[in-house]
Structure formats: C-alpha cells, structure tokens
Amino acid sequence: MLEIKNLHARVGDKPILKGINLSIGTGEIHAIMGPNGSGKSTLSSVLAGHDDYEVTDGEVIYQGENLLEMEPEERARAGVFLSFQYPVEVPGVKNIYLLKSALNAKRAHQGQEEINPVEFLKLVREKLKLMKMDEAFLHRNINEGFSGGEKKRNEILQMQLLEPSLCLLDETDSGLDVDALRIVGEGINYLRAEQRSFVMVTHYQRLLDHVRPDFVHVLADGQIKASGDFSLAQRLEKEGYEGLLAEA
Amino acid sequence: MSSTETKVDDLVDREYAAGFVTDIESDTFPPGLDETVVRAISAKKGEPEWMTQWRLEAFEKWKAMSSPDWAHLNIPPIDYQSISYYSAPKNPDDAPKSLDEVDPKLLETYDKLGIPLLEQQMLAGVAVDAVFDSVSVVTTFKDKLAEAGVVFCPLSEAVHSHPELVKKYLGSVVPVEDNYFACLNSAVFSDGSFVYVPKGVRCPMELSTYFRINEQNTGQFERTLIICEDQAHVSYLEGCTAPMRDENQLHAAVVELVALEDAEIKYSTVQNWYPGDDEGRGGIYNFVTKRAECRGARSKVSWTQLETGSAVTWKYPSCVLLGDDSVGEFYSVAVSSKQQQADTGTKMIHVGKNTRSTIISKGISAQKGQNAYRGLVRMGAGAENARNFTQCDSLLIGDQCGAHTFPYIEAKNPSARVEHEATTSKVSDDQLFYLRQRGISEEDALNMIVNGFCKDVFQKLPMEFAVEAEALLGITLEGAVG
C-alpha cells in the first residue's frame, strides 16, 4: 500500500523528518507514537501534501505511484484521506456541500457520474447514524462553532463517506471525552477492511484501546526509533517515552 | 510561503471573457464636449425643447464644477474633450421595433455575453432592455408588460410617450447639480431604461437591462428612472460588459428610483465592465450615482450589487427614507483583483419615523486590488426610533491587496439606533489545503470559500441571477493553476 523510504522533510530551514523508513501493507493498522515535536504530525501532513513542508530527500510510493509528485487533491482522489488534528473552519459553506463535492470529485476520478441527490442523502444519513450525529450537522457551516469532539466526529464522517484506501489519522483522540472517543473508535473500526490501511498518529495509548493496531512505531527526533506490536504501546504507557528511548 | 501566495495569485488571474469587440457600423460623434454636442445629442434623439433646455442647463452647471478627489482612489486626470459622447449602431435612423429588425451582429454580441434575448424572452420570462453604446437596441416583452399597465422602455422613448412622468421625476431624486458626474450625465445622457409601475400593480416579471460599451473612446452615460406608485412592486436587474481596450473608458450613469406608499423596488446589479490588464492599462471608470427615495409610508427599496469589473468603481447606491416606516437595504459584493480599485458603499438617510435600514457589504481583494467600503448612516432629527444595522466584511486573497472601511455615522435623534460590525479575514492556506485534501481542486476550493463568504448577499439576488452571480464570481477568480 505505502512504502516510505529515507524520507527527509523540513519547514523553512528546520529539518523535521530525518530519514523515515516505513512499510504499510494492505489491510494493516499502524500506530505512530512519539513525544511532542517528534515529527508525527509532520509525517501525516507530508503524506497528504501540505505546502508548508519541503521534502528534501527520500521517496514515498503509494499503490505503485510516486505520491510526492501528486497534488493534494490528486492524492485525495486516489484514496489518501487525512483526518486533521485541527479541522479547519470554512464560514458560509455548508457541511453537506463539502461532503457532496468531495464524493463527486472522487467519483469523477473513478469515471463515475455524479451521485443523485436522493441516493446521496440516503448514504449520508446512514453514516450520520453511525457517528451518532444529528442531521442538523449537514446544514451547519464547515466546522464553524463545532466543539472539539464534533469536529473530530465530522472528520470520521467524511472518512466514512469517502471510503479511502489509506486513512491517516492525526491525533484524532486529542480533545475527545470518553464517549466521543468510543464513537470515533467505533467509526474507525467500522471501516476496517482487508483492502484498507490505517496510519494512526497519536501521543497516547487511549485510542489504541479502541482501535487495536497491528504495528506500533515510536517516532523521535524525526526518525523511527523502535517498532513492535501492540505490546510496545503498553510498554510506552508504563515506562514513558524517556525510559523507552533511553533503552533504544 | 511565497510559493503559495503566487499560487493564489495565479488562481485569481483570468482572462476577461467579455472582452471582444463587435465589428459593427456605427454612428459616432467626434470626441469633444461643448454646447453644440449637447444640442446634437438632443437632436439625434428628436427631443422636445424642454428636454434640450434641461440638458443645456446641466451643461452650464457642469462647466462651473470640478472633479471630486475625496475617494480612496488613484485616478489620472480625465480629459473630457477626448471622449466621444454619442455612439449608436448604424441601423435605420429610428430604433428597431422588434428583434427581427435588430442587426444580427448585435444579437450575436448579446449571445456571446450569454444574454440570448430571444431565448430569454421565451423561457425565462424576464423582460430585457439592451443598451449598446448609447442607444437602447431592443426591449422584449413589451406587450405582456403593457397588459399589466407596466411601462418598460428606453428613456429616450419615454420622453415622447410619457413626457409628464419624465418631467415630474427626472432629476427629482438626483438633482442635476448633485455631483460632478451626475451633472455631466444630465447634460449628455444618451439612453437608459424607464420603468413605471402604476398603483397596486405587481410587475409580472423580472425586468432586466444589459449595458454594453463597444466603441472606442466612447463614454457611456445612461440614465435609469424607475417609479413605483402606491402598492406597486418591481424587481429590476442590470448587467454590464465592455470590450478590452488599452484606453480607459468612462461610464458615468445615473439611476433614480421613486417608491411611493407601500411600494417596493428591488434593484440588482451584476457589473462586469472590463477591469483593465495586469499592469492596470485600460478598463472602465465606473462613476455612478444611484439613489432611491422612499417617499411613501412603508415603502421599501433594496439594492443588491455584484461588482466584479471596472478599473475604478466609485459608487454608493443610496436610500433616502422619507416615508414613515420605510425600509432601505443594501447588499453588496465587490471584487477587486489585478490593479482594480473599488470605493463603494451606500448612504442611508433616515428622515421618517421608524425607518429601518440594513447594510451588508462584502469586499473581496486579490492580487493588487484595493477595496474600500464607504458608508454613511444619517439619522435625522425627526427619525424617531429609526434603526440601522451595518455589517462590513472584507476577505483578502494573497498579501498585496488591501481592504479599507470608512463608516460615517450621524445621529441627530436620541431614539435612533445604529449598529456597526466589521470583520477582515484572509483566505488561508489551511482552508485551501483542507478542501483539497478532500479531493476538491484548488480553483473549486477557492470558489467555495469565496462563495461562502458572499452567501448572505447572493441569497438576496433574484433566483435566476444568483446562479449567474456565482458563476461570474467563479470566472472572475479563475485562472491557470500554477
């Protein structure tokens, strides 16, 4: 699914990623954990194609294609979805309009016609129910005045609708209370499938209690310092990053 | 950082789609302005003596006036002797009476502009008056309107067919000597639309006028007069385009609206004059005086405008709220891109009791565009319990453009209430990236953000034109993605 080789990236003059190597197989769930400032969020932003980051070395192959050469919207249409740590507000634009435009952009890319309004509404209602969201959400402006939890649920709602191949979840658990965390966790689990891969970037273990990863990686100072299975996350919880990294 | 800014700049860069010139034989006066020219315009129109005298008086007053310079605009001096004050397609001397008599090239022009007169006549149920350079070339749907008692015709025709109305109302809202450009217009105005809706009549369809400047070195000085008697109701839309020319061209129009008791006038403008090129060469100077008087109790006037074109726009559609409980509204979206400058806003003059006004202004600046909102809210001594709400929002795209707000408030009545809100925001890279990450192209993302910003105003446009407005805004901000 995704092959990251020796990836280096910087913001301005400041190097953040210093040689990331990571291989994500189809259907796998990877958790990337690390202390603040380790480069976790940078990694997901670089994979999604954010302009603020300059890739200085390395390559990323996504489904056989050079991901780094694609525009952000091309990556999205090809099935790369980023659930934002801080979803952005767009005043005056209704949520439903974004959902529909995004879905139709993907459909156009796949050579399909625009979805008909009745079918679309049916589909959206189904997903809303899954995320325990009220239909009023559709007619609110994108993320405007949403609580932290509502914003995150809205991200997962979009992910549900777009059914991406590669889901990048950037600190999805931050700002969530226990109930919201459970709903978001269920939303992610619902999407687990053989043909779909996940990369979950997180500081804490709590999301991983809901969505059990196949692999856990520890990112520090722009490099992956340790990899393992779920037990690595459990060790982290006990020993903390300092303890674990001192060992590694 | 700079790379993303250039990208946004590229996005808003675009070609002016209405910039073609129609090769048509025309009857154009040589440049220059003196009493002979004023008389000649009047003679061309076969005007009665009172009209000629009205023009000549205006010309005398204009000669004594000087060009104002208070706006937040940078305009080189205009040589009024280098402009031609009259140009008409050289068709038969008298105006065409039906579409069949119209020069096919002219119809083609309107087709190119997306104003298929025939089709529109058939399908949309919108009555259209088309003004090409200085004359009105065709007015559709006259019969159906006449049945309802509505008069919709070129002003030059109304001078003959309804002289008593023209005499009574022309210059009654915008006095001849009101300002420099209005005074010039009074002397040399060529054509424009005249609308009269009699007592108790709701105009059965949207009325619409399209203005087109075609000839080089020609000024356009149209004049529109709309009168709504008691309980009458009309919705009117004007659209404007011009070819690409290297020289600046002057457009100095006057619009007067009169609403009597319980009458309602909705006046919408989609202005897409040629804005000039990237270096600021050419483009239309759009200096327009638009004013409405709500003379009757409970009357209402609503101005809605989308200003995307012109090199320089200088206009303040205003409402004088004389009647008790009368209502004035102003909804505006003004875009300035390239090197465009816009100084626009409104005046709400509250005279009567319980008068209310609402101002929603959205300014969008991109590239090197400069956008200024200038508004006056005046609560007169007799304006008991009058209310105003003003909201001014500015949206900046890139970091070379500017937005300015100049609100003026005068309150002479202690019971009057005035509210003013203002915001300035920037299209952020994060917003664009968020939408693109959902598979939406950069251009569509920008359109989405801008349209969201303008939504409050577009909702006020007549439905047929709201779509047009969104599309026009899209074209205005569209361009090759870098």
- pLDDT by residue (tens digit) across A19-59? 999 999 999 999 999 888 899 999 999 999 998 999 999 99
**What's the pLDDT score for residue B7?**
46
B179 vs A243: which has the higher pLDDT: B179
Distance from CA of B427 to the nearest CA of A (A): 9
Q: What is the pLDDT of residue A26?
A: 95
Instruction: Give the tens place of pLDDT for each residue, A102-142.
Output: 999 999 999 999 999 899 999 999 999 989 899 999 999 99
pLDDT at B481: 28
3 state SS of A22: strand
Q: How much is the pLDDT for B280? A: 67
Considering only CB atoms, which chain B residues are within 8 Å of A87? 434
DSSP letter for each residue of B93-162: SSPPSSGGGS-HHHHHHHHHTT--HHHIIIII-EEEEEEETTEEEEE--HHHHHHHT-EEEEHHHHHHH-
pLDDT (0 to 100) of residue B92: 44
Q: What is the pLDDT of residue B418?
A: 95
Distances (CA, A) of A114 to A101, A103, A111, A120, A243: 9, 8, 10, 10, 53
How far apart, in whole angstroms, are the C-alpha atoms of residue A129 and residue A121? 12
Q: Would the CB atoms of A90 and B435 count as touching at under 8 Å?
A: yes
Which residues touch B36 (CB under 8 Å, ≥6 apart)?
none
What mean pLDDT is reported for chain A? 92
Chain A nearest-CA distance from B126, in A, is: 29
**Interchain CB contact of B482 with A (< 8 Å):** no
Nearest residue, CB atoms, A91 vs list B429, B439, B452 = B452
8 Å CB contact between A48 and A168: yes
ipTM: 0.95
Interchain proximity B442–A73, CB inside 8 Å: yes
Is pLDDT above 60 for B376?
yes
pTM: 0.80
CA closest to A99 among chain B residues: B438
pLDDT at B393 over 70: yes
> A61-75, A126-140, B135-149, B399-413 — which is least confidently predicted?
B135-149
Q: Which of A72, A44, A65 is nearest to A16 (CA)?
A: A44
Give the pLDDT of residue B336. 82
pLDDT surpassing 90 at residue B31:
no
| One-letter amino acid for residue B75 of the chain | I
pLDDT over 80 at B445, yes or no: yes
Size of interface A-B (CB pairs under 8 A): 80
A73 touches chain B (CB under 8 A): yes
Fold of A2-247: Rossmann fold (3.40.50)
Q: Which of A82, A91, A106 sits opposite B437 (nearest CB)?
A: A82
Identity of the highest mean pLDDT range in A10-14, B242-246, B277-281, B295-299? B295-299
Q: Which of A71-80, B62-71, B382-391 has the lowest mean pLDDT?
A: B62-71
CB contact under 8 A, A51 and B440: no
Q: Within 13 Å and on the Cβ side, how many CA atoms surround A219?
A: 29
Q: pLDDT band for B427, please (50, 70, 90 cuts).
A: confident
Does residue B372 contact residue B316 with C-beta atoms inside 8 Å? Answer: no
Taking contacts as CB-CB distances below 8 angstroms, the residues of chain A near B437 are 48-49, 72-73, 75-76, 81-82, 84
**Confidence band (pLDDT; 50, 70, 90) for B95?**
very low
Report pLDDT for A108.
94
Cβ distance A73 to B454 less than 8 Å, yes or no, reads no
DSSP 8-state symbol, B97 = S
pLDDT beyond 80 at B212: no
Range in A59-73, B159-173, B334-348 the model is least confident about: B334-348
Q: Identify which of B210-214, B279-283, B308-312, B461-465 has the greatest average pLDDT.
A: B308-312
Q: Under a CB-based contact definition with an 8 Å cutoff, are residues B132 and B106 in contact?
A: yes
Band of the pLDDT at B96, cuts 50, 70, 90?
A: very low
A210 touches chain B (CB under 8 A): no
Is it the case that residue B99 has pLDDT exceeding 80?
no
pLDDT the model gives residue B439: 96
* Cβ separation B437–A48 shorter than 8 A: yes
pLDDT bracket for residue A143 (50, 70, 90): very high
Rounded to a whole number of angstroms, the distance from the CA of A216 to the nearest CA of chain B is: 25
Domain locations in chain A?
A: 2-247
Judge: B452–A102 Cβ closer than 8 Å, yes or no: no
Q: What is the pLDDT of residue B124?
A: 41
- Does pLDDT of B101 surpass 50? yes
DSSP E strands in A117-202: the ranges are 141-142, 166-170, 197-202
Q: Between these two residues, B32 and B213, which has the higher pLDDT value?
A: B32
Chain segment B122-164, per-residue pLDDT in tens: 434 455 666 655 555 556 667 778 888 999 888 988 999 999 9
Angle of CA points B418, B424, B428, to nearest 5°: 155
For residue A89, the chain B residues in CB contact (below 8 A) are 431
Answer yes or no: do B4 and A92 touch at CB < 8 A: no
Q: Could you tell me the pLDDT band of residue A215, with boundaries at 50, 70 and 90? A: very high
| Encoded amino acid at B399, one letter | D
Q: Is A13 on the interface with B (CB under 8 A)?
A: no
The residue in chain A having the minimum alpha-carbon distance to the alpha carbon of residue B436 is A73
Give the pLDDT band (50/70/90) at residue B108.
low
Contacts of A158 in chain B (CB under 8 A): 438
Of B430, B424, B361, B359, nearest in space to B395 by CA: B424
Nearest residue in A to B1, CA atom: A52
CB contact under 8 A, A158 and B448: no
The string of pLDDT tens digits covering residues B357-373 is: 999 999 988 888 888 89
Longest CA–CA span in chain B (Å) reads 68
Nearest chain A residue to B456, by CA: A92
Which comes out higher in pLDDT, residue B385 or B210? Answer: B385
pLDDT at residue B435 greater than cutoff 90: yes
**pLDDT of B383 strictly over 70:** yes
Average pLDDT of span B52-56 = 95
What is residue B475's predicted lDDT score, i.e. its pLDDT? 64
Can you tell me the mean pLDDT for B298-323?
90
Strands, E assignment, B351-448: 356-366, 370-379, 387-397, 402-411, 417-426
CA B445 to chain A, closest CA, distance in angstroms equals 10
Looking at the complex, report in whole angstroms how far the Cα of residue A108 sits from the nearest Cα belonging to chain B.
Answer: 10
Which range (B42-46, B91-95, B137-141) has the least confidence? Answer: B91-95
In the structure, what pLDDT confidence band is assigned to residue B118 with cuts at 50, 70 and 90? very low
Closest approach of A2 to chain B, Cα-based (Å):
18
B438–A76 CB contact, under 8 Å: yes
Query: Which is it for strands B318-321 and B300-307: parallel, antiparallel or unpaired?
Result: unpaired
Q: How far is B373 from chain A, CA to nearest CA, in Å?
A: 21
Residue among A51, A88, A162 minimizing CB distance to B431: A88
Q: What's the pLDDT at B5?
A: 44
| End-to-end CA separation in angstroms for chain A | 28
With 60 as the cut, is the pLDDT of residue B117 above it? no
pLDDT in tens, B323-332: 999 999 999 9
- When pLDDT is cut at 50, 70 and 90, the band that residue B24 belongs to is low
